[in-house]
Amino acid sequence: MKYLKLMRINHYLKNILILFPAFFAGVIFNENILFKLLIMFVAFSLTSSIIYIVNDINDKEKDRKHPTKKNRPIASGLVSVKEGITLAILLFFVTLILLYSSNLLFNYGTLLLFLYFILNIGYSFGLKNIPLLDIVILVSGFVIRILYGGFCLNIVLSSWLILTVLSISFYLSLGKRRNEIQKNGSNSRYVLRYYNKNFLDKNMYMFLACTIVFYSLWTVDINNNLLVWTVPIVMIMTMRYSMNIEENSYGDPIEVILNDKVLIFLGIIYALILSCLIYVR
């Protein structure tokens, strides 16, 4: 259990973005594609776990002084640094074996996985201290996921869909920084001294508005007139998320979603309606 906590498997929820290109293309239930998607999902998840382990080892001293991060396995001493390094190496080789065995290792899409790894290792070792660049790297992780899902399967992505993911990613990342300042002050993270709540608020809601606009344009751009009726559901979900951000939250997107049963319910309803509109005609 302590190793699963170190791997932060709850954050694998973000990797659902990898499935989006195949889902929206209406081919997700194709057996060959479904198998590849499973491998891609696991490979990306294990890669993200390696990054989390490296980050926790690098930040163990700072984390011990943080009110919540002090409970992380390495910061708390539950897992030793040696165990963490061993686990990271094991996950690295498992990822290579998975990609090689499924003929995905030399796929162009795998370059995106490598880019994700490099960017986030750079983030762990100092790029997270550079204002705006720290947010851009957080955003790039979401965008790379959906591009990875498209490139590996040779699925052409809608520009509006990419812009929607880009905008919502900025909103989520800015919200995370906003609530870090609100909960722990600007001293909890070096880069926070360059931000303030007003700046983050204004930009958060600018990107939220862009998200709704881009998503609406995506629904009218594809060959399904009924998809536009999912826009109100997206509006309600983003409002619900904003309510959580405005309340007593640390702003981590996964924690916000997993701790809100209403938001989970809305997400399930949205997914079911989308599935019916795309696959049942």
- Count of the separate structural domains present in the chain: 2
Domain residue limits at 144 = 1-157
243/234 Cα distance (integer angstroms): 14
Q: What is the pLDDT of residue 281?
A: 63
Residues 45/51, Cβ–Cβ less than 8 Å: no
**How crowded is the C-beta side of 171, counted as CA atoms within 13 Å?**
19
Looking at 157, 173, 193, which one is the last position of a domain? 157
Residue 115 has a pLDDT of 96
Q: Domain end: 125, 157, 189, which one?
A: 157
Buried b (16+ CB within 10 A) or exposed e, 209-245: ebbbebbbebbeeeeeeebeebbeebeebbebbeebb
Smallest CA-to-CA distance from 91 within 54, 119, 145 is with: 54
**Residue 64, pLDDT score:** 80
Identity of the residue numbered 227: L
Co-location of 73 and 198 in the same domain: no
Task: Kindly give the confidence (pLDDT) of every residue in the chain, 281 residues in length, as a single tens digit, with 9 standing for 90 and above.
Answer: 788 888 999 999 999 999 999 999 889 988 889 999 999 999 999 999 999 999 999 888 887 877 777 888 888 888 888 999 999 999 999 999 999 988 888 888 899 999 999 999 999 998 999 999 999 999 999 999 999 999 999 999 999 999 999 999 999 999 989 888 887 776 778 888 899 889 999 999 999 999 999 999 999 988 788 899 999 999 999 999 999 888 777 678 888 898 899 999 999 999 999 999 988 86
pTM: 0.92
CA angle 104/161/116 to nearest 5° reads 40
Work out the angle at residue 218's Cα, subtended by the Cα atoms of residues 169 and 212, and round it to the nearest 5 degrees: 50
Same-domain check for residues 123 and 26: yes
- Choosing from 128, 157, 186, the residue where a domain stops is 157
CATH code: domain of residue 145: 1.10.357.140
Based on the domain organization, do 207 and 147 belong to the same domain?
A: no
